[in-house]
Amino acid sequence: MTAETIIAADIRINARWLIPVQPANTVLDHQAVLIQGDRIAAIVTQEEADRRYRAKEVIDLPHHVLLPGLINTHGHAAMSLFRGMADDLPLMTWLNDHIWPAEGAFISEEFIADGTQLAMAEMLRTGTTTFSDMYFFPEIVAQLAHDAGMRAQVCFPLLDFPTPWGSGPEEYLVKGRAFIEQWQDNAFISPAIGPHAPYTVSDGPLTEAVALSKETGAAIQIHLHETAFEVADAMEKTGKRPMARMAELGLLGPNTQCVHMTQIDEADLGLLQSSGAHVIHCPESNLKLASGLSPVQRMRKAGVNVAIGTDGAASNNDLDLFGELGTAAMLAKAVAEDASALSAHEALAMATIAGARAIGREDELGSLEAGKLADVIAVDLSDPFLQPVYDPASHLVYSRHGRQVSHSWIGGVPQVQNGHLTRIDVPDLMLRVQNWADKIREQQSR
């Protein structure tokens, strides 16, 4: 009888449960994830791992569930420094009277660097391994994420008016092209195009954005149909719903990510279906700003890929994607008047494989499968108030314990170990955050 060949691995992670996401609705018991380099080499039972594998490092997590790193597909990372600054206001009042003036006063390269690092620390600590950012100074965000070993889709801003990053659409597009060229084909950074919204970007720049996307393959992310007012105002001014205008300009396609989409009629749904565009659902931001209720079940039944994002911490007010999933699942049920509208497993899929699909990386991210990148998180379910555990997927979504994330690896590199960040100096970061808070308070008191 021939002995089995022993296979070497860098890391072996043993866990009580594993949710691979693909196949769907699956929970596996007593599994081992084997990591070689930056990839998952195998997922096998612990008994098989004992027989066939030898690893340089073995991590035993007897009360934990392993799953793919979460993908936060929409946010404005540096706005973490505006967290709680202008609460309980409708969207346009919030933007016009508070956020845009604050951005004019404070946005700088230093602000973006410190605010983004604060956001990355929060996201990593709560299970996010890939995030999408749409804000100013994208080159700084990209470099920070890359240096920290975190994956990010970074969208350069495009608006009709001047901002701290540029004088207008022409400069944004020139800078944006250079940004795409710098980061294209990078394993960590996916450069993308971020026209803010139909009401802040005119046809000319949008047409140029479409051409740039076709030329480079860069995705387009845009706030779309966020409020009823946005749609009504567009109808009054142009006679067209914003989505119809986007379709006419060629902006909708498989490379397009439509953020919010709370206002959807049959024509809008048909455009989503025919174009293959993705929807990014931001339930907590939409609720807090009273923007509207996105019909998630209706879109998913129509075959639309719906991913999830937190939006910025200024309108959420946290970046804990597990909390977002709980809100999304319960809100979907209420909107559809159907308790089965979005299950715990389906919600987890929105934050993993659906997010990977939206950013064009489903072949590498979004599920625990041999050959995919080793972006893995472990959640500790030993807390007394999480007992008993009948279904770990249910606890992950409905019990909302993002801070129970104990370990995180991105490409096999540890980012969180026993609840502690490994690559961000939190005490030093907190000193810089406090300095910004003091400046903002002083300006507000004038």
- Tokens found for residue 330: 């319960």
List the helix and strand counts (H, then E) for the chain.
Answer: 17, 16
* pLDDT over 60 at 1, yes or no: no
Confidence of residue 144 (pLDDT cuts 50, 70, 90): very high
pLDDT for position 311? 97
Query: Tokens 């701290």 map to which residue?
Result: 164
Q: Which residues contact 130 (CB under 8 A, 6 or more apart)?
A: 69, 70, 71, 72, 150, 151, 152, 153, 355, 356, 359, 361, 365, 375
Phi, psi for residue 433 in degrees, rounded to 5: -65, -45
Please tell me the least confidently modeled range out of 88-92, 218-222, 420-424. 88-92
280 membership: H or E segment, kind and range: strand 278-281
**Amino acid at residue number 240:** K
Please tell me the least confidently modeled range out of 15-24, 44-53, 82-91, 128-137. 82-91
Q: Which residues contact 371 (CB under 8 A, 6 or more apart)?
A: 39, 40
Mean pLDDT of 263-270: 97
- Tokens found for residue 84: 């709680």
The Cα–Cα gap between 322 and 395 comes to 10
Share of the chain above pLDDT 70, in %: 99
Mean pLDDT of 330-359: 97
* pLDDT over 80 at 4, yes or no: no
* pLDDT over 70 at 3, yes or no: no
The Cα–Cα gap between 279 and 92 comes to 22
Calculate the average pLDDT of the chain. 96
pLDDT for position 89? 87
Find the radius of gyration of the CA atoms of the chain. 22
5 compared with 309, residue with greater pLDDT = 309
- Domains along the sequence of the chain with CATH: 7-68+367-411 (2.30.40.10), 70-358 (3.20.20.140)
pLDDT for position 402? 78
Q: Own/partner pairs for 248-254, CB < 8 Å, 24+ apart?
A: 249/203, 249/206, 249/207, 249/210, 250/207, 250/210, 251/195, 251/206, 251/209, 251/210, 251/220, 251/222, 252/277, 253/277, 254/278
Is 66 exposed, middle or buried (CB count within 10 Å of its CB: 0-12, 13-18, 19+)?
buried
Mean pLDDT of 385-401: 91
Confidence of residue 100 (pLDDT cuts 50, 70, 90): confident
pLDDT for position 33? 98
Task: Please answer whether residues 370 and 352 qualify as being in contact, where contact means their C-beta atoms are separated by less than 8 angstroms.
Answer: no
* pLDDT over 70 at 2, yes or no: no
pLDDT tens digits, residue range 274-320? 999 999 999 999 999 999 999 999 999 999 999 999 999 999 999 99
pTM (two decimals):
0.97
pLDDT for position 257? 98
Question: Pairing between strand 128-134 and 70-72?
Answer: parallel
